[in-house]
Structure 1
């Protein structure tokens, strides 16, 4: 892979799909995608991130984001929440979603998570930070 950043829906999905393929080909532990930080949404914290490993997405969400994620999953019936963990010291929930699919479908899901769950605009900027 030579590109690590994209800011249009088509380019982001291509980037994410390429990252999934690279992750699988390299047998890496996981891949991480991050989106721009939006101070109006994220406050002073970092922007949202998604990790993918083997057949599992991992992400942190607030209660409102969790509701939006559950709504989004109705568009991806072959994906399912396998684990919800809300430690007392954390302000949100860590979620693991099993997603057995091809790279393009996984990329489409990741892009929709940033938009539908994390409330990013259509032109948000995303990076593949680790493969």
Structure 2
């Protein structure tokens, strides 16, 4: 891969699909994708009164390892994720973990799909679940 960020729907989906393909070709342990922080997330990160793991300070991320998609959600985001998964019947939630001291839920999804379908799904997650607008920038931060 020679590019690691994108900010249009087509370019993001291509970037995500290329990252999935590179992950599989390299047999890497996982990939991680993050969106650019919103102004509210940036402001919250600088707020000394918020705990470090407060949902307001957490920038969303998606990881893929083999056929497992991993992400963290608040309760409202989890509801939106479940709604989105109705459009992806071949993807299923395998595990939900909500430690008592955490502000959300870690979700593991089995997603047996080609890189293009996964790329499209990741983009939909950032928009539908995490509320990013159509022009958000995303990075593949680790392969």
Normalised by the length of structure 2, the TM-score is: 0.89
Q: Report if aligned partners of 1:60, 1:94 keep a CA contact under 8 Å in 2.
A: yes
1:27 maps to which residue? 27
1:66 to 56, 73, 78: 78
Normalised by the length of structure 1, the TM-score is: 0.97
Listed one character per residue, the Cα deviations across residues 84-125 of structure 1 (whole Å, up to 9, x for unaligned) are: 000011000000000001000000000000000000000000
Q: Which runs of 5+ in 1 are unaligned?
A: none
1:102 to 109, 114, 123: 114
> How many residues align structurally?
131
* 1:85-124 aligned within 5 A: 85-124=97-136
CA offset at residue 38 of structure 1? Answer: 1.3
2:6 maps to which residue? 6
Mapped partners of 2:40, 2:32: distance in 1: 23
Listed one character per residue, the Cα deviations across residues 33-69 of structure 1 (whole Å, up to 9, x for unaligned) are: 0001114367322421000010010000000000000
Q: Which runs of 5+ in 2 are unaligned?
A: 46-56
- What's the Cα RMSD here? 1.1
